[in-house]
Chain A
Amino acid sequence: MRGSPKSLIALALTVAVLVYPTTVLASEGEGTAAEGTIAGQADARTNTSSILWFGAGCLFELLGVAAAYLITPNPPAMRLLGKSPEYVAAYTDAYSASARSVQTNNAWLGCIVSTLAGTGVYILAALASSSQY
């Protein structure tokens, strides 16, 4: 707890915490399975970066898509405090499925866009090349 390195870490952490987008869903009491499903889906959609996975698909193409299928973000523990077993089970299942869906959809989209753009550039280059002869 001495010196500037910790302050640097603390400050960088603050930004990390702030930029980590999370949502909350309110429910009455311990939460039902249906509420858990809705909350898990909503949190996963908010916490999963579409832009990041679109970029991964664009840059790494099929490797980016593969990563989207393999990586699943962890559910936030605070969302499960005080929740019933049914809620926890539904929330975690929905969170996993929704996060993976967002990731893979956007990675595929990025991959397709990248491929189409590459193909377009190739065709244009070929046309330009053939017109010179």
Chain B
Amino acid sequence: MALLLLGALLGQVHPFSAQFEQVIVENNQSDTARGTVYFVAPWRIYYQVNYPLNQLVSVVMNEMSIYYPDESLAYVLKSKSQFESPTSQLSLGTIDPARAMSQIGLRPSKTRTAGDTVYSVWTPTDRGATFGRFTFARIGRATVFVEAVRRNGRPVVRSRMSDHVRADTFELPTKITTERFDTAGRRSLEVLTYTALDTSTAFLSTLERFTIPPGVRTKISSW
């Protein structure tokens, strides 16, 4: 269902390309990847990674291909279902909580304003729900903070979004900092930064290079 929703939402977003940097920090270690993302449709996304290595990744429908041109090696993962879209975090900045939380079993419990930021707290109507509370913070149409906590009050995830740019009628965040907490309370941090957002479609004709050339050693896994 999440993928259907994601597809429906991102289906409204026009093709774009952008430079990206992903930094993941856990246990005082950081892990960085940089490159360019080419978004064609929710079911057709391409990544050209150039740091820390050269890698061409395509996520197309139920298939994910990872091609290493320097090693002349590729992996293809075929699944029965669509792969999770790596750009899902972008959608967080498009949220208008007042419009639809009730549609998914949540009700507003509190709203407060601090400066130009409006905070709204939502709680599930179902007492058996896993999650205890969602908090959204918005400045105008842009969502700048989202937090989900468990019923015991412990956080699950916190995302802070900034540097929004307008794409059609959406306010897309180009910097997303996400803290995740597992059930043991361990925290990890993920920072996604998008720059040089380009909504021209000239890149569409260049995507052939993501095709794995004949003769490349390829491992195919079916899921």
Contact = CB atoms under 8 A, between A and B. Distances in A.
Interface of A: 1-2, 4, 6-31, 46, 71-72, 74-78, 80-85, 88-89, 92, 96
B180 A22 contact: yes
Given A7-B96, A7-B99, A85-B71, A17 B8 contact: no
5 nearest A-B residue pairs (beta carbon): A82-B33, A16-B2, A11-B100, A26-B29, A8-B100
Interface stretch (B78-86, B193-201, B205-213): B78-86
B81 to A, nearest CB: 6
A10 B92 CA distance: 8
25 contacts: A2-B169, A10-B94, A10-B95, A11-B104, A12-B103, A13-B6, A13-B88, A15-B106, A17-B88, A23-B180, A25-B188, A26-B31, A26-B188, A30-B53, A74-B84, A74-B223, A77-B64, A77-B84, A80-B64, A82-B32, A82-B49, A83-B33, A84-B53, A88-B66, A96-B223
B77 A81 contact: no
Contacts of A12: 5, 100, 103-104
Most buried by B among A14, A23, A74: A14
Contact of B83 (A6, A9, A30, A77): A77
B104 A1 contact: no
Interface string B201-223: 00000000000000000010101
Contacts of B168: 1
A14 B145 CA distance: 12
A81 B86 contact: yes
Nearest to B192: A78
Nearest to B99: A7
A23 B131 contact: no
B86 A75 contact: no
A11 B57 contact: no
B144 interface: no
A23 B182 contact: yes
Nearest to A6: B12
Q: How large is the interface on B (under 10, 10 to 19, 20 to 34, 35 or more residues)?
A: 35 or more
A50 B25 CA distance: 26
B170 interface: yes
A92 B92 CA distance: 27
Contacts of A8: 99-100, 103
Interface in B1-57: 1-2, 5-6, 8-9, 12, 22, 24-27, 29-35, 47, 49, 51-53, 55, 57
A84 B51 CA distance: 11
Interface in B57-103: 57, 59, 64, 66, 68, 71, 73, 75, 77, 79-81, 83-84, 86, 88-89, 91-92, 94-97, 99-101, 103
B57 A80 contact: yes
B75 A89 contact: yes
B6 to A, nearest CB: 6
B26 A85 contact: no
B156 A24 contact: no
B84 A88 contact: no
A71 B52 CA distance: 33
